[in-house]
Amino acid sequence: MSMFGIIEQLEPYSYLIYQVLTVIISVIIFILILKIVKKRLLKKVKSKKQITNVSVFIDLLKFLFIFFIIIIILFTYYGDFGDLGFIAGLFSVALGLALQKPISSVVAWLILTTRRPFDIGDRLLISNMKGDIIDIPLKHIILDEVGGTIEGEEKSGRTIMIPTSAIFEKEIINYTHQDEYILVEIVTSITYESNLKKAENLILFAVEKIMKTYWVNFPKKIEKQPHTRLQFRASGIDISVRYHTLTLNRNKIATDIRREIFNQIKKVNDVEFAYPHTEVLFREKKVN
């Protein structure tokens, strides 16, 4: 069969062949452009996390390209905006259901990067997970865990990855949104036989002794003077001393203050620590 005969046989399918060739050429051009863009972006990034962001961005471009190619093919095939709109609507609904989480993550990331409710270095509590923000890439909020394997607020060495979409679903507490200082308290229990006024003075003195080196750098708006609150308990009186401290160093500072409170109280005879215990008291029987 001659070349002209082959062309005549393929003539009814010429439009379809034209479409297929157009799609193939478009895909080839897009892949080449994508490679160039990815290569240039990777030259500018420095960390592994930034490389991940580039990969996510490239994947998003691929998805958008495939989406528009499908829309164009459907339009070309049906040739009617009404039918195309109906098909596009069904496709969008199905796509939205399938990609609900990824789309939520992208929207959440855009909110985080534009409105900035928290920044790198802030300490967050998200549900029962606490940590300092290391990075906010496209899909996750990455935290350097605080606590977790230990009691208290020291860093455990573990990394927490929370989906960015969690900002729509979880309660978030930011320890350092306004400044680096928070109000905390230390509770000391003393016996009812103790000199209450002296105990309060000793505890306040211990706080002031430890905190005076930190107060030098406190801003004026942060209250420096500690204060006490009392609570009666079955085995003694709880003295709560409340003071402002550095959020990220609160455990170390609190430990130093507790040690100083212990040393101060052990120096005196009329203040005693209270603790659950049993005492047997013997009294002389009165003779009538």
Task: Write down the residue that tokens 């509590």 correspond to.
Answer: 125
**What's residue 126's pLDDT?**
92
**Single-letter amino acid code for the residue at 61:** L
For 148-162, how does the pLDDT look when each residue is reduced to its tens digit (9 = 90+)? 888 878 889 999 999
**What's residue 280's pLDDT?**
74
**What's residue 210's pLDDT?**
97
**What's residue 270's pLDDT?**
96
pLDDT at 232 over 70: yes
pLDDT at 24 over 90: no
**What's residue 179's pLDDT?**
86
Radius of gyration of the chain (CA): 34
pLDDT at 288 over 70: no
Q: What is the mean pLDDT of residues 104-116?
A: 78
**What's residue 98's pLDDT?**
52
Tell me the domains of the chain and their CATH numbers.
3-98 (no CATH), 117-174 (2.30.30.60), 181-266 (3.30.70.100)
Q: Which tokens sit at 165?
A: 């979409």
pLDDT at 184 over 90: yes
**Average pLDDT, rounded, for the chain:** 82
Q: Is 231 left (phi over 0), alpha (psi -120 to 50) or beta?
A: beta
- Could you list the beta-strand ranges (E) of the chain: 123-126, 129-135, 140-146, 155-163, 172-174, 181-190, 227-232, 237-246
3-state secondary structure of 186: strand
Q: Hey, how many other C-beta atoms are within 10 angstroms of the C-beta on 253?
A: 19
Q: Which of 114-123, 175-184, 263-272 has the lowest mean pLDDT?
A: 114-123
How far apart, in whole angstroms, are the C-alpha atoms of residue 264 and residue 272?
11
Return the higher-pLDDT residue of 274 and 2. Answer: 274
pLDDT at 138 over 80: no
Sorting pLDDT into bands at 50, 70 and 90, what band is 88? low
Return the higher-pLDDT residue of 157 and 9. Answer: 157
pLDDT at 95 over 70: no
Cβ-based burial of 116 (10 A; exposed 0-12, middle 13-18, buried ≥19): exposed
Of the ranges 28-37, 89-98, 152-161, the best mean pLDDT one = 152-161
pTM higher than 0.75, yes or no?
no
Sorting pLDDT into bands at 50, 70 and 90, what band is 100? low
Instruction: Please give the DSSP secondary-structure letter assigned to residue 262.
Output: H
Q: What is the mean pLDDT of residues 241-269?
A: 95
Return the higher-pLDDT residue of 46 and 170. Answer: 170
**What's residue 12's pLDDT?**
59
- Given a contact cutoff of 8 angstroms between Cβ atoms, the answer to whether 158 and 146 are in contact is no
Strand-pair category, 123-126 with 172-174 = antiparallel
